[in-house]
Amino acid sequence: MARVVVAGGGGAGCAAALAARKAGAEVVVFERTDQLLGTGLVGGIMRNNGRFTAAEEMIALGAGELFLITDAAAVHEGVDFPGHSHASLYDVTSVEPAVRHLLEEAGVDVYFEHRVISCGMAGDRVQWVEVLAHSPGTPAGSVKTEWEADAFVDATGSAGPQANCTRFGHGCCMCILRCPTFGPRVGLAGVAGVEEAVARTALGGVGSMSGSCELAKESLSVNLRRTLERDGVIVLPLPPEHHKRDLSQKACQQYAREEFGRNLVLLDTGHVKLMTSYFPLSSLRRVRGLENARYIDPYAGGRGNSIRFLALTPHDAALAVRGVTNLFCAGEKAGPLVGHTEAICTGTLAGCNAARIAQGLRVLVLPPVLCVGDMIAEITRLMGRPGNPLTERFTFSGSVYFERMRATGLYSVDRASIRRRVWKAGLTGVFAGREAQVQQGKTVVRK
């Protein structure tokens, strides 16, 4: 059986592993930490704005498992907050075990505390990866092994290591990525010799700062906590002296609207999601109801947040990394993409195509009549422009791409019409273990 190795067990890596397994490959995932999902451990927002459309497309395409897990874990549905409609807020404390079980049931082999650190090339192909495994029982505390595979997926993200947050941010913010404990992120595409790109802010800064924090729910006042658990969202007006906060550095530009500068927006995701990159703790505690507020991610959320979009990989519309014939990329590796929905979508296509290449089949390219296909086409063009400063951020939920969805008619909340769109493209169930054959620009689905 053909083997696919996935580097990184975040949302993109989990989606890639599932898709590759359903496409008929043996799949191994190397995750450098002790948990799956990466930033999904502190995320919690799904189905807001165009993410609803993308999720329903993926379900119709046969890749709905991760969306159904977050739907089942939702503590609030149909939530509206500034600039966003019909959001679903999932409980971040319960999703990871469910995803871990899903991968186990699918027959995916996941190795925790294993980090890809280098690779061996044979011409323009990755032949094997070197993996550093944490092994406290050995004198060195770690063991290196080499793993061969037929195809690979780089889903290592674009944040970290700690030195980058110190260089481009406000120092290590002690976030969910936990670089000092589990080692720095190493991108597979980078060690394969691919020149990766760095995104910039509109003001010329390097990378972007993660756009939200987590507060301990029990640190809110009783009244705030009750309201939040009832409604899912609270908007707290800020004193005028805080209205001039710089929102341009946020990775999540869909949350950089004026309302987020004049207010604190709180969402109930099991913890309390504070929709700002950081906010001085002394100032936060002067807001009524937050007198005892405490950050839990990042732990230094009063000073800063993690820096992202530092290692973006050029690719084609099949998410194949340019210059390497059997390496695919997903999630933030594929460009300045924001969100778990976006990670799942790109991860699914990358994993499917890795399995197809490994088995000698042609790759699948999703057509632009689907918002997922159109998004990938747009991000591919963006990453292919020489000298592009990469200042735009792409997400189904806001900013430039959601505007495009609305302008082109791709945005819809009508499940039946979304399913019909996928059916008309001849792609119903294409990721559900069926064989897709690309012929003359069309995809014919066969059992």
| Residue 161: CATH number of its domain | 3.50.50.60
For residue range 413-424, list pLDDT tens digits in order. Answer: 999 999 999 999
244 and 319 both lie in a single domain: no
141-145, 220-224, 320-324, 342-346 — which is least confidently predicted? 141-145
Task: Over range 391-395, report the average pLDDT.
Answer: 90
Domain count, the chain: 2
113-127, 225-239, 314-328, 425-439 — which is least confidently predicted? 425-439
177 and 326 both lie in a single domain: yes
Residue 192: give the domain boundaries: 3-202+308-446
Task: Over range 155-181, report the average pLDDT.
Answer: 93
Q: What is the dihedral of CA 268, 269, 274, 280, to 10 degrees?
A: 110
Task: Over range 257-276, report the average pLDDT.
Answer: 87
Identify the band that residue 248 occupies on the pLDDT scale cut at 50, 70 and 90.
low
User: How far is Cα 27 from Cα 343, in angstroms, rounded to an integer?
Assistant: 18
Task: Over range 398-423, report the average pLDDT.
Answer: 96
Identify the band that residue 439 occupies on the pLDDT scale cut at 50, 70 and 90.
very low
247 and 351 both lie in a single domain: no
379 and 436 both lie in a single domain: yes
User: How far is Cα 284 from Cα 245, in angstroms, rounded to an integer?
Assistant: 14
pLDDT value of residue 411: 98
For residue 367, with 0-12 CB atoms within 10 Å meaning exposed, 13-18 middle and 19 or more buried, which class applies? middle
Q: What is the dihedral of CA 124, 127, 130, 131, to 10 degrees?
A: 110
% of the chain at pLDDT higher than 70: 92
155 and 229 both lie in a single domain: no
Using alpha carbons, select from 44, 8, 7, 68 the residue that is nearest to residue 340. Answer: 44
pLDDT value of residue 436: 38
Of 307, 326, 361, the domain-final residue? 307
Identify the band that residue 329 occupies on the pLDDT scale cut at 50, 70 and 90.
very high
% of the chain at pLDDT higher than 90: 83
For residue range 95-115, list pLDDT tens digits in order. Answer: 999 999 999 999 999 999 999
Of 307, 335, 350, the domain-final residue? 307
325 and 398 both lie in a single domain: yes
pLDDT of 250 over the 90 cut: no
User: How far is Cα 372 from Cα 38, in angstroms, rounded to an integer?
Assistant: 22
Residues with Cβ < 8 Å from 398, sequence gap 6 or more? 49, 83, 84, 253, 254, 255
pLDDT of 174 over the 60 cut: yes
Average pLDDT of every residue of the chain: 91
25 and 91 both lie in a single domain: yes
pLDDT value of residue 262: 84
231 and 137 both lie in a single domain: no
Task: Over range 63-85, report the average pLDDT.
Answer: 96
pLDDT value of residue 178: 94
> Bigger pLDDT: 203 or 432?
432
pLDDT value of residue 437: 37
Task: Over range 368-377, report the average pLDDT.
Answer: 98
pLDDT value of residue 333: 97
278 and 332 both lie in a single domain: no
266 and 362 both lie in a single domain: no
Of 307, 338, 368, the domain-final residue? 307
280 and 134 both lie in a single domain: no
Helix (H) / strand (E) element for 152: namely: strand 151-154
For residue range 111-158, list pLDDT tens digits in order. Answer: 999 999 999 999 999 999 999 998 777 666 789 999 999 999 999 999
pLDDT of 446 over the 70 cut: no
186 and 217 both lie in a single domain: no
Enter the pTM of the model: 0.93
